Amino acid sequence: MSGVDQSRTPKRGFVLLGLLSLLWGVNFPAMKLVLNEMSPWTFRAVCLSTAGLGLLLISRLSGQSISFPKQNLKTVIGAALFNITGWHLAAAYGISLMHSSRAVIIGYTMPVWASVLAVWLLNERLDARRVAGLLLGVAGLAFLLGPQITQVGESPLGVVFMLVAAGCWAMGSVLIKRGPWYMPMSAVTGWMFLIGGIPIFVGALIQDRWADVLHLSPRGLAALVFVILLPTLFCHWAYYKVVTLFPVTLAAIGTLAIPVVGIVTSALLLKETLEWNEIVAMLLIVSALSLVLIHPGSRRS
């Protein structure tokens, strides 16, 4: 299948990708607002514990089982360490050390690493359309980053953290796809938050910065509530659901719209400048998504 055959793919997969692009894009400037008032460890500990317990409660109230099958123990631990511990902690530090718009660009090189890992570990096929879409997406990210490359060099540690975060997210996505899962995805996500959050909870306790939550400004508190409910709780469940519906490569490429939303919302909310190269990058990324996610009419059944 060269593109995504919409006659066979549930429409909810495309709806979830659209919501992910919007909400995870807005998440980056929202995180920046909170991290101006909280340490990364405390911020992530609050988000993961609240969202994890919330997802398990939702699963329970909806009549789904939240029991932990032994068959999924190793997979959940592995996915949690990469998707939750690695991504959340590395991204939080990366964003705190550099411009949020630059951080989002580097973080969303994830499709590159996910594509390589999916071919290696899942035997997924990279056909011409997927390769072309990936190259267009990477070109778009390059246009976003190009004029700011000297500023990125001023925050080398932030760049390292964001690259580590991207790699962790890619590996975690592959592990989620490998499955198989013997419990609902909402329960899987909730347990991943709680298990993957253990090292972060310990780090937050050692740093003893929990009092930051009590001293948040109204703007910071609103941003924190938003990050917990939508980008953390809902979007993580939605992304893992998309990975089960699509090949990992396609699901990863589908996230390329997120940096576009992140750049625009950073410009609006944080007064960060929107340049010409970002417009060109948007066109390239939209072209990449159209190429990969929209199946040609001549090939559809």
Kindly list the distances between the CA atom of residue 219 and the CA atoms of 149, 165, 208, 225, 254, in Å, as whole numbers in the listed order.
Answer: 31, 27, 23, 10, 31
**Range 244-270 average pLDDT:** 78
Query: What share of the chain in percent tops pLDDT 70?
Result: 85
Q: What is the mean pLDDT of residues 164-182?
A: 89
Mean pLDDT, the chain, whole residue set:
81
pLDDT of residue 2: 39
In a domain, 156, yes or no: yes
Sequence-ordered list of residues with C-beta below 8 angstroms from that of 156, at least 6 positions apart, any chain = none
**Long-range own/partner contacts, residues 3-9 (CB < 8 A, 24 or more apart):** 3/129, 3/291, 3/292, 3/293, 3/294, 3/295, 3/296, 3/299, 4/246, 4/250, 4/292, 4/293, 4/294, 4/295, 5/295, 5/300, 5/301, 6/294, 6/295, 6/300, 7/300, 7/301, 9/245, 9/246
Over residues 257-285, the mean pLDDT reads: 73
| Domain carrying residue 190 | 11-299
pLDDT grade for 5, boundaries at 50, 70 and 90: very low
Which range (112-116, 209-213, 242-246) has the least confidence? Answer: 209-213
pLDDT of residue 152: 56
**Model confidence over 110-133: pLDDT tens digits?**
888 888 888 888 888 777 877 888
Q: Is 2 domain-assigned? A: no
Between 212 and 22, the more confident residue is 22
pLDDT of residue 298: 37
In a domain, 266, yes or no: yes
Number of domains in the chain: 1
State the pLDDT at residue 256.
77
pLDDT per position as a tens digit, 41-61? 888 899 999 999 999 999 999
Lowest mean pLDDT among 2-11, 22-31, 67-76, 195-204: 2-11
Instruction: Band the pLDDT of 153: cuts 50, 70, 90.
Output: low
Q: Which run of H or of E encompasses 258?
A: helix 257-269
Is 3 domain-assigned? Answer: no
| Residue 5 counted as domain residue | no
The winner for highest mean pLDDT among 32-36, 99-103, 224-228 is 224-228
In this predicted structure, the answer to whether residue 287 has a pLDDT above a threshold of 60 is yes
Q: Is 76 a domain residue? A: yes
pLDDT, average across residues 173-182? 87
Is residue 44 in a domain?
Answer: yes
For residues 154 and 106, the model is more confident at 106
Q: With beta carbons less than 8 A apart as the criterion, state whether 113 and 170 touch.
A: yes
pLDDT at 229: 93
Asked whether the predicted pLDDT for residue 190 surpasses 60, the reply is: yes
Distance CA 140, CA 255 (A): 13
In 147-246, which residue ranges form alpha helices assigned H by DSSP?
A: 149-153, 156-178, 185-196, 198-207, 218-227, 235-245
d(CA 71, CA 121): 20
> What local confidence, expressed as pLDDT, does residue 71 receive?
87
Number of Cβ within a 10 Å radius of residue 67: 8
* Residues 231, 23: Cα–Cα separation, whole Å: 6
CA distances for 240 relative to 10, 148, 245, 247, 260, angstroms: 15, 32, 9, 11, 21
Which two tokens mark 255?
Answer: 């996230």
Q: Rounded to whole angstroms, how far apart are CA atoms 190 and 216?
A: 26
Does some domain include residue 1?
Answer: no
* The pLDDT of residue 150: 56
Q: Residue 240's closest CA among 180, 191, 294, 186?
A: 186
pLDDT at 226 over 90: yes
Share above pLDDT 90 across residues of the chain, in percent, rounded to a whole number: 23
